[in-house]
Structure 1
């Protein structure tokens, strides 16, 4: 089979899966830009990341499904509501009550840009960033973990004491280093795979809460 035929077959399988995926159908019905919105909804329902008035940064936000959820849950745009700033290399179509930043999250100037738009430190930093798949599991794992570590560095610069960091990782071994760093800076560090995450996917999420704000000795709870 030629590469072109493989790609055609793969595209057809992806389209068929999308058409019968209940999360895709529900996302369209509710106006979410991606099925990933339900992952954040499920994680917030479990870990209580958001609340009215909180300041949120969404890294790698395109197309904006997570940003839509954050806007609703912190009541951005309402009186005494929160603020949501979303950043991505890819342009994001406008989202009501969200500030959108086009740029590289690893740019040294990015944290200052985000903080200025927030009007202060963040209460929650989100990252659902993932690189395009190469088809090689080990390479893809290393690439997504590099993005996770980058998001963690941004979170360290932005989070207020007591804040939370939610980040996508892939199972594969190299996440141990990041987990140790998280445990040194947060009161609790947990793993979760929300129901909306496809069963065959290696993705899972790390939820770190209770940012200490300085280098304390690690004594975090991990599950």
Structure 2
């Protein structure tokens, strides 16, 4: 995993404007080309730079253990599933990893793919059936497409997190954990209050791999108290 300073010299790449390229797409492309995590992800064969975020969270809180049973919601393109599969030993037949997404994506070695809208009322039952029982961890790195309006984007990602949490309540085993992306913005108090009633510990996490100028955070809840 990368540290803050890997000792290598980074050369800044500037992207020339093109007639059909908007300023926002120009800035995004420039940021991607100059992002050391993007380059490192390519070098290690990770499908996204998000893999480093999960690695950092796990290094600090040890949420991924050999033989675990994990549901990865919104798994495409598979960066988180790649990390989880390695950590739990899924490629060697240990544990169970179910990678869930509404869109088709390339299968992750060691993971079972499920193409389904997790908002479907039947999704919890289908997930439990595919898992052969309850999960130890439900994780989600999902984010709705950005509108550029911070308040709107905050509400959209919080709605996704709430929906993922509702599914987690249906499929988690007692003492299980939940990890999901949120955005700072002030609308998360009700969500966190409910989580604190259902889990022993709830905390916010900001991995170094999350861009410094981003409002992105992760909420990590451990010690699921079970369904009432």
Same fold by TM-score greater than 0.5: yes
Which residue in 1 is equivalent to 2:221?
208
Q: 2:20 and 2:206 mapped to 1: Cα distance?
A: 30
Which residue in 1 is equivalent to 2:119?
106
* Contact preservation (8 Å) 1:166, 1:207: yes
CA-CA distance at 1:7 after TM superposition: 5.2
Q: 1:138 and 1:207 mapped to 2: Cα distance?
A: 22
1:74 equivalenced with 2:75 (yes/no):
no
* Contact preservation (8 Å) 2:169, 2:227: no
Q: 2:87 and 2:209 mapped to 1: Cα distance?
A: 18
Q: 2:227 and 2:218 mapped to 1: Cα distance?
A: 23
**SS of the counterpart of 1:144?**
helix
**SS of the counterpart of 1:167?**
strand
Residue 30 of structure 2, aligned match among 7, 16, 34: 16
1:193 equivalenced with 2:199 (yes/no):
no
Matches within 5 A, 1:1-223: 8-79=22-93, 81-215=94-228
**SS of the counterpart of 2:38?**
helix
The gaps in structure 1 that reach 5 residues or longer are 216-223
Q: 2:38 and 2:209 mapped to 1: Cα distance?
A: 10
* Contact preservation (8 Å) 1:77, 1:83: no
* Contact preservation (8 Å) 1:85, 1:99: yes
Q: 2:188 and 2:221 mapped to 1: Cα distance?
A: 14
Q: 1:16 and 1:39 mapped to 2: Cα distance?
A: 21
The gaps in structure 2 that reach 5 residues or longer are 1-17
TM-score by length of 2: 0.89
- Residue 181 to residue 5, structure 1, CA distance change in 2 (3 Å): farther
CA-CA distance at 1:77 after TM superposition: 3.2
**SS of the counterpart of 1:37?**
helix
Instruction: Give the length in aligned residue pairs.
Output: 211
Give CA deviations for 1:148-182 in whole Å, capped at 9, x if unaligned: 00000000001000100001111111111110010
CA-CA distance at 1:6 after TM superposition: 9.2
CA-CA distance at 1:114 after TM superposition: 1.3
* Contact preservation (8 Å) 1:58, 1:85: yes
Give CA deviations for 1:49-72 in whole Å, capped at 9, x if unaligned: 111100000001111100111101
